[in-house]
Amino acid sequence: MIAPKFIPLVLRQLLRHRVRSMLTLGGVITAMFLFVTIQAMQAGVSAATQQNADDTTLVVYRKDRFCPFTSQLPEYYQSKIQGIDGVRAVIPMKIVVNNCRTSLDVVTFRGVPLDAFLAVRQEELHLVDGSFELWRHRSDAALLGETLAARRGLKVGDRFDAAGVTAYVAGILRSEEVQDKNVAYVHLDFLQQATDKNLGIVTQFNVLVDAASDLDRVARAIDDEFAVAEHPTTTRSEKAFVAYAAADMVELVAFTRYLGWGCIAAVLTLVGNAIVLSVQDRVKDHAILQTLGYSPWLIGRLVLCEGIVVGLLGGGMGTLLAAGVIEWGQFSLSTDGLSIPIEATPLLLLTGMGISLALGVLAGVVPAWQATRCEIARCFRAV
């Protein structure tokens, strides 16, 4: 763009009007902070609800029920589901949450039968701390998702209470599965006794099928099996189940996309306005630079670099600030025991920086072009 020796000149031009530059920078930081946060929410929704070719999990829920408190299925359904062709494993689960409404701080207990759960999931779960043996041998032990542990400041050996359940932290796990990050896995019988004492009653069944192509067929077979039973079922793929149960929240997050584009427009307007005003204030300065041998194109490139510096500096600070707040808060949107993570991934940070650069260039193009079109004599006559 320009030689490094001209960078100090660009910075001096920006510092000539410190108040204007600081206000512009503050606006860019705020707008990019909002944009990156919104994009992190959008990415979380996509990760939680968009099915891919590797998904082989179905969720069997009580028909016409939405909240975990109202979904009750007999545990003996497990053997009947296991007998359906294409089913690889069935894990009964009891779900207990401290808040069934949409919230940023929900503790979700998932009671599971230990042997069946570990047989299917142990290879997918990576323990950051603690051990599976400790979880197996303590009846009140819990395995916490990494996000939940970080948000609550919990470590192995701590005891915590939520939703009337007091559990001992036996391990902290890391998993690629979205719903594992904000959950506390406990013994099924322990959770049944600690809450409603309904032994033999669970909230849902997680069904693993042999292949993703079998999902629809197996789901229909399960619902047909219990269609006339006392407790009929509705079966969906896990991500379709999340999308359905959290439909209102997903729709709300989708609406914020317009707010994100508004933030981008605000950044473009702020930077562009600041550079235009700066160029108008320096018309005679540009004439002097031309008399000293600066070509109009060089002056135009200097003006364009001002926009790039403001865009990158403000956008970079806003992006890093958003990433820091998200990482510190370990936020997760939760409803009905389901979680949608808010995560600032490296790709999102690179995207934020790239957009900041692009906006800086766009904002500086018009003022730079105007600066190249101004003749020396007309510049000196300008008031």
Sorted by where each begins, the domain ranges of the chain are 4-48+248-381, 64-231
CB 286 within 8 A of CB 299: yes
Q: How many residues does the chain have?
A: 383
Separation between Cα atoms, residue 347 and residue 264, nearest integer Å: 18
What is the end-to-end Cα distance of the chain in Å, rounded? 31
Distance of CA 137 to the CA centre of its chain: 35
Give the per-residue pLDDT at 19.
79
Amino acid at 129: D
Torsion of CA 360, 322, 34, 279, to 10 degrees: -20
| Helix, strand, or coil (residue 2) | coil
Give the per-residue pLDDT at 371.
66
Separation between Cα atoms, residue 195 and residue 310, nearest integer Å: 56
Give the per-residue pLDDT at 286.
61
Say which residues have a Cβ less than 8 Å from residue 139's Cβ, sequence separation at least 6.
187, 189, 190
Give the per-residue pLDDT at 383.
47
Over its length of 383 residues, how does the chain's per-residue pLDDT go in tens digits?
566 666 776 667 767 777 777 888 888 888 889 889 988 888 888 877 776 767 788 999 999 877 788 889 999 999 999 999 999 999 999 999 877 666 667 788 999 999 889 888 888 889 999 999 999 889 999 999 998 898 889 999 999 988 789 999 999 999 888 888 889 999 999 999 888 777 889 999 999 999 888 899 999 999 999 999 989 999 998 888 887 776 777 777 778 888 888 888 888 888 877 777 766 666 666 666 666 666 767 777 777 787 788 888 888 899 999 999 988 877 777 777 777 888 888 888 888 888 888 888 887 787 777 666 666 555 555 54
Which among 142, 146, 123, 145 is positioned nearest to 208, based on CA atoms? Answer: 123
Separation between Cα atoms, residue 81 and residue 218, nearest integer Å: 9
Question: Which CA distances in Å does 358 have to 21, 276, 310, 363, 365?
Answer: 19, 17, 11, 9, 11
For residues 96-108, one letter each, b for 16 or more C-beta atoms within 10 angstroms of the residue's C-beta and e for the rest, the string is: bbbbbeeeebbbb
Give the per-residue pLDDT at 317.
92
Alpha-helical (H) ranges within the chain are 7-15, 18-49, 77-82, 114-121, 132-137, 146-152, 188-194, 215-225, 238-245, 247-281, 283-291, 296-329, 346-372, 376-381
Q: Which two tokens stand for residue 179?
A: 């719903």
What global pTM score does this model have? Answer: 0.76
Which among 107, 123, 120, 133 is positioned nearest to 78, based on CA atoms? Answer: 120
